[in-house]
Amino acid sequence: MRKETKEFIIGYDKDIDYIDDLIKKLEQEEDKILNFFELKNLKEKKKIKIWTNREEYQTHLEEYVPKYYDWMNADTFDGNINLLSIEECRKTKAHSDITLEEFLENIIHEFVHSCQQEINPDSKNVEWFWEALATNLGNPFDHTIDFQFNEEQLINDFNSVPNNYEIVFTIGKYLLENYSHKEIMQYIKEPEILRQDAKKIFNEVKLQNNNSNV
C-alpha cells in the first residue's frame, strides 16, 4: 500500500489508521523545514517506509550502526525515511508509552535529516550536530539534565552517550539562539569547519549552563 503527496511517497504493508494524521503532520511542517535549509523542494520525492515488523527493522539498522539499541525507531541511513510503526514502538521498553503526537514528530525529525542530506550528507563525527538540529526543529521537548558529558565520546560514538539526545537538544537550542542562520548553514554545508569548532561550541554551552545554575 502507498500514499503519495507533493514531497513524499509513503509505503506500508498493513492498514494503518493514523496514515492521514501522518500526512497532515508532514504537510503542516514541510515548508518550514525546507525554508530553514533554504530549499525550495527536495530533489526528488522522498520515500517513507513504515516498518511493521521490529525484527526486520532491527536487521535493516544493523547494516548501518555498530550496535542496535532498543530506543532506535527511525532513520535515514539508506536515503529514505524509515519509521517503525507506533504499534511496534510500543513493544519496546524505550517507547512503550509513546503518544501519537510524539510518533508523528519523529517523522519530522527524520525529515530534518533528509533535508540536511540534500545539502551535504557528510555526518562523520558531527552526528551530534545533526541530532541537535533534528531535535530542535523536528521534535523539541522540555527536559532537565546534569549537563556533563565526554566530548570525545559525543563526537566519536554518539549513540553510546547517556542522555545523548537531551544533551544535543540543549546544544542545538544554544546554537539557534546565539549563532546566526548564516553561521549554522555554513556548518551544514561545510562540516569540516564544524569539526574544528565543535569543542569551542561545547565549552560555550557548558559555560552558559554553569552560569545559569549558579
**What is the fold of 1-119?**
Glutaredoxin (3.40.30)
- Per-residue pLDDT at 102: 95
pLDDT one-digit tens code per residue, 151-189:
999 999 999 999 999 999 999 999 999 999 999 999 999
pLDDT one-digit tens code per residue, 102-161:
999 999 999 999 999 999 999 999 999 999 999 999 998 766 566 789 999 999 999 999
- Percent of the chain with pLDDT strictly greater than 70: 96
Break the chain into its structural domains and give their ranges: 1-119, 122-214
Which three-class secondary structure string do you get for the chain?
CEEECCCEEEECCCCCCCHHHHHHHHHHHHHHHHHHCCCCCCCCCEEEEEECCHHHHHHHHCCCCCCCCCCCCEECCCCCEEEECHHHHCCCCCCCCCCHHHHHHHHHHHHHHHHHHHHCCCCCCCHHHHHHHHHHHCCCCCCCCCCCCCHHHHHHCHHHCCCHHHHHHHHHHHHHHHCCHHHHHHHHHCHHHHHHHHHHHHHHHHHHHHHHCC
Arithmetic mean of pLDDT, 66-86: 95
- Percent of the chain with pLDDT strictly greater than 90: 90
